[in-house]
Structures are given as structure tokens and as C-alpha cells.
């Protein structure tokens, strides 16, 4: 494990033959405004220092003056690729605090949406990873297959990325009559298209040569640095919240937590592809069995949580997402903290980059699946 002190770039620690290179905040491979300062020895990276905060928007502060219905609208804007799952985390936390049992129908629909969101998120990640490594075609293939999912979302809840479909107590509206048919059509379509991803990139010699054995993160480091989601599971860290602390309809479905032991860039990539297959399996188990019933329980217009502290974990496409609410019994949270997976994952970057080439830094960052608003909040 690299010592934390090594990455300090204070002026008194930099020697004359050290070479610092600045990447970002406006850099295409950081997918947002992230700045990474790398300390080089020739072309080899010795350490990196991620500098965040370029799009810090003070969401946690804003939440303190908003009601619980309104807080949900801000969670969309953090990890915009897992917007639905973030919404759900707040809703589950509020529901648990009030001890409300939502109808079975809601649980099923939420889980189907979760998994569709996960597929859409991984598709966009796959596009961008290919692009970062110089494969332009992946971008078109990925976006082509993501479009039907966004259309399904749009038909049911009117939005393509910032859904606000979850409300405390259930869902804002019932599903569109076409929903089940369109989801089944999509699964049928995507089962044919996903093998193309493997043909294009996974089996590509240029790609595998660049990623295998690169940026290895050991299991111990993954746990110690809190690296979760597919990035952590590639190192063998069993951290799937859907398995460990099941919520919504996950207790009813059978699925496999995909794990690897290598912990390198290739396996972080490979596990996300595997997860898309698993997500489709989960959706198929649920889509024909959505129970009849209400789409929400009746809630008051102003929600007041009892005094106390509530924590809810969910598994977003990036990893272990947490909502921590400290309530003093009023209509606004006293303190609301979001534990975003990207934040912990980013600060583990320094464990993976020692000794890699500067060009490979881009590959490592791509497979961490960083979404910057999720880190800056």
C-alpha cells in the first residue's frame, strides 16, 4: 500500500528533478471537471493527486432547507446516470424512518427501473471507455442501444435522465400500459446486441493488451479504501448491497454477484459487461409478475420524520451509495449526508497508478466509472 504522504505535492516536497503534469479540469477523459495532478518520472507515473470541487454545488447544504419531497429532485443531479437509484435511496430512507410498507407493485417497478438504469449507465460507461482508449465506434454502438431504454423511461415518467419518478410512499404515476411489452422487446433486442460489445472491444487484442494487468488493486486495498461497485468486485471485494442488505424486490429474485480476483483494469471492465447480463436476468424474473395494486400509499403533503438518525444503503451502478439523515422532527432534515461511491473510488486511484505509463492513467480512470457531480456534490 502506497503511503499517503507520498502524494503530497507541497512545494517543499517537490525535488528539482520531479516532473508534475496537470490533467484537467477540462480534459475529455475526465468526463467532467476533474483535475488530476500526476507526478512523473520520465513517462512513468509515481503518484497522482485528484483535485475536486470544480462543480461543487452544495447539495447537502441545500437539502437542509428543503422538505423531503424536494430533496429527491436534487439527488438526480449527483450521479445523473443512476438517477433513479439515488431517488430510491432517499425514498427508502424516509419510508423506513416512518415505517411505511410500500405496495408490492411499487417494489417490483422500482427494481425493474433500477436495473434498466444500471444497464443504461453501464452502456454509457462502455461508450466512453472505448472512446478514451481510442475506439470511436463503441460510442455509436453504446448510444444506439441506450436510446430504447431512455424511450421507455420517457414514456412512463416523462423524463429521460432526471426522472423524479420515486416519491416517498411509492411512485409518482403508474406505469404506462406499453411498459411491460417495451421492456420485453428491449431485453430481446439487447440480448442480441450485447455479444457485439464483446466482439468489438472485449476480445480486441489492442484493448486487452492495454488493459490486462494494468492498475491492479488488491482486495485488501479495495476494502481499506472503500472501493465498491464493479470496481471493488473486480478485486474480489464482496460489496453488492443488493445481496448484503436487500431492498425493494431484490429478495425475490435470483442473481449472481459477479466477482473476480485479478483486480486489474480489464476485469473492472469485464464485470460491468457481466453485470448487464445479470441485470437482464433480474428484469426477466420480475417483468411478467408485477402484482396488481396501488402505485403509492397516501402520504401527507409535508413529511416530518421522527427524531433520530437513519441510514440507507443502495447499490447504484457505481457502488455503495448511502443516505444518512439526521432528523430533529421538523419538516427539513437537520443534516443530510450522501455517501457517494465515486468519492471513495476516486481517492483510491493513487493505489493503482504507481508505475504505469501516463497514457494508461486514462484507461484506469475510465474503468473506475467516475461521474464528477457524484464526487463533488
Partner 1 sequence: MNNDGLKQAISQIESEAVFKDGSQFLEITVPAGKLHHLCNLLKSTDETAFNYLVCLTGVDYPDCFEIVYHIDSTVHHHVIVLKARTEGRENPAIDTVGDIWPTAYAHEREVHDLLGVKFNNHPDMRRLFLEDGWGFPLRKDYVDPVRIIER
Strand partners, 320: 315
**Of residues 327 and 367, the one with the C-beta less far from partner 1:** 327
Of residues 60 and 284, the one with the C-beta less far from partner 1: 60
Q: Which residues bind partner 1 (CB under 8 A)?
A: 1, 4-5, 7-8, 52-53, 56, 58, 60-61, 65, 96, 223-226, 237-239, 244, 308-311, 313, 320, 322, 324, 326, 334-335, 337, 339, 343-344, 346-348, 376
Instruction: State the sign of the Cα–Cα–Cα–Cα dihedral 75, 159, 141, 280.
Output: positive
CB burial of 150-176 (b: ≥16 within 10 Å; e: otherwise) equals: eebbeebbeeeeebbbbbbbbbbebbe
| CB of 311 vs partner 1, minimal distance in Å | 6
Give least dist CB 109 to partner 1, A: 25
Comparison of 19 and 311: residue with beta carbon closer to partner 1 = 311
Q: Cβ 117 to partner 1, closest distance in Å?
A: 22
Helix axes 104-132, 137-157, angle to 10 degrees: 160
Q: How far is the CB of 364 from partner 1 (least distance, A)?
A: 17
Q: Work out how close the CB of 42 gets to partner 1 at its nearest, in angstroms, rounded to a whole number.
A: 26
The neighbouring-strand residues paired with 26 are 33
Question: Closer CB to partner 1, residue 12 or residue 292?
Answer: 12
Closest distance to partner 1 from the beta carbon of 52 (Å): 6
Write out 143-171 in H/E/C secondary structure.
Answer: HHHHHHHHHHHHHHHCCCCCCCCEECCEE
Contact (CB, 8 A) for 79 and 321: yes
H-type helices in the chain, by residue range? 59-63, 68-75, 83-98, 104-132, 137-157, 179-197, 205-211, 219-224, 229-233, 241-244, 265-287, 341-347, 349-352, 358-367, 372-376
Rounded Cα distance, 167 and 296, in Å: 8
- For residues 322 and 313, the answer to whether their CB atoms sit within 8 Å is yes
Q: Closest CB to partner 1 among 107 and 377?
A: 377
Of 115 and 376, which CB lies nearer to partner 1 in the complex structure? Answer: 376
Residue-wise DSSP of 322-370: EEEEEE-SSSS-SEEEEE-HHHHHHHTHHHH-TT-BHHHHHHHHHHTT-
Q: How far is the CB of 135 from partner 1 (least distance, A)?
A: 32
Give CA separation, 26 vs 51, 146, 276, in Å: 12, 26, 30
Of 58 and 213, CB closest to partner 1: 58
Q: Name residues whose C-beta falls within 8 Å of residue 155's C-beta, 6 or more positions apart in sequence.
A: 176, 178, 179, 182
d(CA 52, CA 376): 6
C-beta of 148 vs 333, nearer to partner 1? 333
The distance of closest approach from Cβ of residue 49 to partner 1 in the complex, given in angstroms and rounded to an integer, is 9
Minimum gap (Å) between residue 152 Cβ and partner 1:
33
Main-chain phi, psi angles of 298, to 5 degrees: -70, 130
- Give the cell for residue 261: 480476483
Residue 269 or 343 with smaller CB distance to partner 1: 343
* Residue closer to partner 1 (CB basis): 61 or 73: 61
Minimum gap (Å) between residue 336 Cβ and partner 1 = 10
Amino acid at each position: 500500500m502506497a503511503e499517503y504522504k507520498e502524494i503530497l505535492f507541497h512545494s517543499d516536497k517537490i525535488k528539482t528533478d520531479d516532473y508534475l503534469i496537470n490533467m484537467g479540469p477540462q480534459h475529455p477523459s475526465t468526463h467532467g471537471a476533474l483535475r488530476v495532478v500526476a507526478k512523473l518520472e520520465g513517462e512513468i507515473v509515481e503518484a497522482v493527486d485528484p483535485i475536486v470541487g470544480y462543480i461543487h454545488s452544495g447539495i447537502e447544504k441545500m437539502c437542509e432547507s428543503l422538505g423531503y419531497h424536494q430533496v429527491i429532485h436534487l439527488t438526480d443531479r449527483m450521479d445523473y446516470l443512476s438517477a433513479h437509484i439515488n431517488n430510491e435511496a432517499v425514498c427508502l430512507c424516509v419510508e423506513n424512518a416512518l415505517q411505511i410498507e410500500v405496495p408490492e407493485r411499487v417494489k417490483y417497478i422500482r427494481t425493474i427501473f433500477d436495473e434498466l438504469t444500471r444497464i443504461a449507465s453501464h452502456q454509457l460507461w462502455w461508450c466512453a471507455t472505448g472512446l478514451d482508449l481510442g475506439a470511436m465506434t463503441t460510442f455509436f454502438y453504446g448510444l444506439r442501444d441506450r436510446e430504447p431504454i431512455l424511450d421507455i423511461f420517457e414514456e412512463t415518467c416523462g423524463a429521460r435522465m432526471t426522472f423524479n419518478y420515486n416519491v416517498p410512499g411509492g411512485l409518482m404515476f403508474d406505469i404506462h400500459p406499453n411498459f411491460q411489452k417495451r421492456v420485453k422487446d428491449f431485453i430481446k433486442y439487447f440480448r442480441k446486441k450485447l455479444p457485439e460489445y464483446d466482439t468489438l472491444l472485449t476480445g480486441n487484442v489492442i484493448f486487452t493488451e492495454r488493459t490486462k494487468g494494468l492498475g491492479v488493486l488488491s482486495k485488501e486495498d479495495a476494502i481499506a479504501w472503500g472501493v465498491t461497485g464493479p470496481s471493488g468486485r473486480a478485486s474480489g471485494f464482496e460489496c453488492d448491497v443488493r445481496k448484503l442488505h436487500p431492498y425493494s424486490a431484490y429478495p425475490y429474485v435470483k442473481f449472481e454477484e459477479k466477482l473476480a480476483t485479478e483486480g486489474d483494469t480489464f476485469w473492472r471492465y469485464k464485470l460491468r459487461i457481466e453485470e448487464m447480463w445479470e441485470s437482464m436476468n433480474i428484469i426477466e424474473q420480475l417483468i411478467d409478475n408485477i402484482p396488481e395494486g396501488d402505485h403509492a400509499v397516501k402520504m401527507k403533503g409535508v413529511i416530518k420524520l421522527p427524531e433520530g438518525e437513519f441510514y440507507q444503503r443502495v447499490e447504484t451502478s457505481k457502488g455503495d451509495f448511502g443516505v444518512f439523515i439526521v432528523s430533529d422532527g421538523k419538516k427539513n432534515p437537520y443534516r443530510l449526508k450522501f455517501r457517494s461511491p465515486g468519492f471513495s473510488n476516486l481517492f483510491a486511484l493513487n493505489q493503482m497508478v504507481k508505475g504505469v505509463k501516463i497514457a494508461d492513467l486514462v484507461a484506469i480512470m475510465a474503468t473506475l466509472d467516475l461521474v464528477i457531480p457524484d464526487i463533488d456534490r
